[in-house]
Chain A
Amino acid sequence: MNPGWILPLVLLLPALFAGAGLLAPSQRAALRFITFGTLASAAAAVAAAAIALSRAGELTALGAWLMVDALSAYHLLVMAVVFALSGLYARSYFAHDAESGELSLRTARRFTALWFASMAAMHLVLVSNNLGLMWVGIEATTLVTAFLICIHGTPTSLEAMWKYLLMCSVGVALAFMGTLLVAASTHGSGVEGASALLWTELRDAAARLNPKLLKTGFLFLVVGYGTKAGLAPMHNWLPDAHSQAPAPVSAIFSGFLLNAALYCVLRTLPLVEALPGNAGWGREILIAFGLISILVAAVFIIAQHDLKRLLAYSSVEHLGIVALGVGLGGLGNVAALFHILNNSVSKSVGFFCAGSIGHLAGTHDMRRINRVTALSRIWGVGLTGSLLAIIGAAPFALFLSEFLIVYTAIQQGHTVIAAALLAGLALVFVGALRHLISITWEPLEGPVEPHRGTLIEGAIVFVPLTALLVLGVWVPAPFWSLLERAARILGGAS
């Protein structure tokens, strides 16, 4: 039997769960369903990735419309981790609301349906070989996640939702123009008709594509998908949406939605780079956007007082680092892919802890949050740990991936780029550390009863953080070879 059958399943499972979520009999059932359905869908994605990786070439299905290779398999694995953690966390985050009656059954059902729909849309982005279908997936993620932001219906969350909806729709519309231009570049290259949008066909014919059309298309794709990926200067919507959404949603936004959009840019990069005599053109654009994102985010992080907005700006910074790493190519590709996992995991945990601390402290203003470890062992220690990881403190894996990118830049002789990157990282480190010290060490005003967490809550905080610590000092050989395999698809001199 052709193992490609797993790919439609990866799409269908969350889509079916989305429908089933509307039938949930009670709030508690809906929350339980989110946890188990998410784990099941993530398991299907992991299985698909494993099957694809066990083969030499790519895994295709439905007449090559669906395809998983090492690059998409790796993204599927990262997504599975982020969603599994967020699914487990959603239950504990909403449990309080469900008991106090703040979460109505209607809202719970709608949340469940939209949660799984967003999962299905992101899977579609990752498994589609057709650039048009990939676009449909990205636009669908915007539409289904818009209402996840304002599930509580507060005025500020509505404002954030409107900005997100409009800016991302317009950005993604420009990405569609880019997709059309890429398809048009196949004129006279031997790729005809319906296969003009298939990535595998485009890759095989890359040397014969029309260079001007492809390059124009790439520019539109970078700006369009870059808006959705939160690359500066198109990032304005991001801090609002990420800070106003409920914490489990913030986690999937920062932890994976941004990466899904950047993935679309990474897909088209090797096509542009394969144009004869054009090596380095697309990479320079990524380097530029990466550096701008890092520096803009650093400035906003220094002046930030809202905990969740701080994490959101940190996502702008880290996506910038990924873009920069891929822009450098070679070892930078591997380091950037490594950084994707590190950022997604640490940012998810960061949002979990920030959300729960926000519940306990009643605010996200870091000037009014003190001694988080006394408020709650799990969330307090988790917040301190994840913030340390996010700003790149030494033994965590983010330090290693950032170090590798700086090393690549210096080795390639890009001293200015390395200096700018280091300056950005230093600004973020100092700026965020100041807040970190104040929320961790400043004494509380009165005595508080520390919040007691459950075993699962402890697990979703400390298992990922421990994994990041281990990866920071020892990268298992099979994992490194997976990174290298995915990085080869991105091309570039090594």
Chain B
Amino acid sequence: MTLPVDTILVIVILTGFLILGTARLITAIRLSAIQGVCIGLLPVAASAEGTSVRVVLLGLAIVALKGVVFPRLLRRAIRESRTSGEMQPYVGTTASVITGILALIAAFWIDARMDFLPDTHSLVAPAAFFTIITGLFLIVARKLAITQVIGYLVLENGIYVFGLAIAMEVPVIVELGVLLDMFVAVFVMGIAIFRINREFNHMDSDQLRNLKG
């Protein structure tokens, strides 16, 4: 049972690096979708012996949401806003990947320090911390509003893995509520981007700086 889980976690980390390294928006969206699908499969793979209906259904919901619905919403936002399709980073892709490497080291270090976490898979907690740091970095280091949404999705992925790392059972209703909130969040952000674009004719969040003091 270790092998599939480790494989998935490695893919999650790799997609994180690739998102940091890409300059194209559409690629970043695809990569975040791949990462989302992996996240959905993770609990199913982790409970290989006693897979319950609940785990499978939740996994399916996550795969559908993160693998299909979110990328569609984001791609539509790009199409309607007619951008060049470039990420327009504040921090260049090379520097971003180097940041990613540092983040991975930091993630393993945090994991080693947080010895009080319940015993789980050795790779789960570092993958979670790495993904969370990557998401936060993407939010602050990319110019376009839409890339900040991608950063938010990556952050949420990281937190979901973290939930698995500390191995606790969240009641189904709460989990569904969280998923619903996420869905609405991305939906609302999509509409917001559309309206910002209509009003400003661009979607650079760095142009959003009229309010100060």
Contact = CB atoms under 8 A, between A and B. Distances in A.
Interface residues of A, number: 50
Contact of A177 (B118, B159, B167, B208): B159
Contacts of A181: 166
A173 B192 contact: no
A140 interface: yes
19 contacts: A132-B174, A142-B185, A143-B188, A146-B188, A153-B199, A158-B192, A158-B208, A162-B192, A165-B188, A166-B189, A170-B136, A176-B159, A183-B168, A184-B166, A184-B167, A194-B171, A196-B168, A213-B117, A216-B114
A197 B195 contact: no
B73 interface: no
Interface string A39-54: 0000000000000000
Given A162-B145, A180-B168, A196-B169, A170 B174 contact: no
A132 B171 contact: yes
DSSP majority for the A interface?
Answer: helix
Interface string A173-191: 1001100110110110000
Contacts of A136: 174, 177-178, 180-181
A412 to B, nearest CB: 32
Interface of A: 130, 132-133, 135-136, 139-140, 142-143, 146-147, 150, 153, 155-156, 158-163, 165-166, 169-170, 173, 176-177, 180-181, 183-184, 186-187, 193-194, 196-197, 210, 212-213, 216, 239-240, 243-244, 300, 303-304, 309
B213 A304 contact: yes
Given A180-B162, A183-B168, A196-B168, A300 B213 contact: yes
Given A170-B139, A170-B155, A184-B167, 20 more contacts: A130-B174, A133-B174, A133-B177, A135-B178, A140-B181, A153-B199, A155-B200, A155-B210, A159-B211, A160-B211, A162-B196, A166-B152, A169-B189, A177-B132, A177-B159, A194-B169, A196-B168, A213-B116, A213-B117, A213-B166
Residue among A155, A173, A181, A213 facing the most chain B CB atoms (10 A cut-off): A173
Contact of B170 (A132, A240, A303): A132
A187 B118 contact: yes
A133 B211 CA distance: 34
Nearest to A184: B166
A139 B166 contact: no
Contact of A240 (B166, B173, B211): B211
Nearest to A309: B213
Given A163-B208, A303-B213, A212 B192 contact: no
A162 B139 contact: no
A253 to B, nearest CB: 15
A143 B208 contact: no
Nearest to A217: B166
Contacts of A300: 213
A397 to B, nearest CB: 30
A413 B88 CA distance: 54
B156 interface: yes
Majority SS at the chain B contact face: helix
A464 to B, nearest CB: 29
Contacts of A169: 152, 185, 189
A156 B210 contact: yes
Contacts of A196: 168-169
B171 A177 contact: no
The 7 closest A-B pairs by CB, nearest first: A132-B174, A136-B177, A184-B166, A212-B116, A159-B208, A240-B211, A139-B181
A307 to B, nearest CB: 13
B22 interface: no
A166 B213 contact: no
Contacts of A143: 181, 184-185, 188
A159 B117 CA distance: 40
B81 interface: no
Contacts of B209: 159
A193 B159 contact: no
B148 interface: yes
Contacts of B152: 166, 169-170, 173
Contact of A184 (B118, B174, B189): B118
Nearest to A192: B169
B43 interface: no
A197 B170 contact: yes
Nearest to A303: B213
Contacts of A197: 170-171, 174
Contacts of B185: 139, 142-143, 169
A304 B162 CA distance: 42
B27 interface: no
A162 B116 contact: no
B28 to A, nearest CB: 17
B34 to A, nearest CB: 21
A186 B169 CA distance: 11
A132 B136 CA distance: 22
Contacts of B213: 239, 300, 303-304, 309
B205 interface: yes
A211 to B, nearest CB: 9
Contact of A193 (B156, B163, B169, B205): B169
B69 to A, nearest CB: 16
B38 to A, nearest CB: 19
Contacts of B159: 173, 176-177, 180
Contacts of B117: 184, 213
B111 to A, nearest CB: 13
Contact of A165 (B156, B181, B192): B192
A94 B159 CA distance: 41
B192 A130 contact: no
Nearest to A163: B208
B116 A210 contact: yes
Contacts of B162: 177, 180
B52 to A, nearest CB: 13
Contacts of A156: 210-211
B195 A166 contact: no
Nearest to B149: A166
A158 B170 contact: no
A161 B205 CA distance: 12
A309 B143 CA distance: 26
Contacts of A177: 132, 159, 162
A165 B174 contact: no
A176 B174 CA distance: 11
Interface in B104-123: 114, 116-118
